[in-house]
Amino acid sequence: MIDEALFDQIKPGAVVKVTERIKDGEKERVSNFQGIIIARKHGKEAGARFTVRAVIDEIGVEKVYPLHSPMIAKVQIISAPKKPKRSKLYFIRDLSKKKIRQKLNV
């Protein structure tokens, strides 16, 4: 579960590292996913979720995580913008890394 203190820090434009637990049959392993948050939906309610985007091997990958999921072991905020200009950053799907840094002032 995510700490309630982190709820306000999880916002669009923040670079995060999400550690999730994955069950493979009887075994359970830990997987890390690092990327930029492009959207957060439904505030702090039970169905709240956030979308993380990363480019892996020149392919864009997006994962949607429920905010109150017990499968999320830890969320680490690597960097966060002061104030994002938009609430949804879907436009960065078409931009290069350099252009993303310029737009978000990171």
26-72 confidence digits (pLDDT tens)? 999 999 999 999 999 998 899 999 999 999 998 999 999 999 999 99
Cβ atoms within 10 Å, residue 103:
15
Closest CA to 63 of 73, 76, 53: 53
CA 39, chain centre distance (Å): 8
Least confident of 17-21, 70-74, 98-102: 98-102
Output the pTM of the full model.
0.89
Residues 79 and 14 sit within 8 Å (Cβ to Cβ): yes
Q: Is CATH 2.130.10.10 correct for 4-104? A: no
On the CB side of 9, CA atoms within 13 Å amount to 14
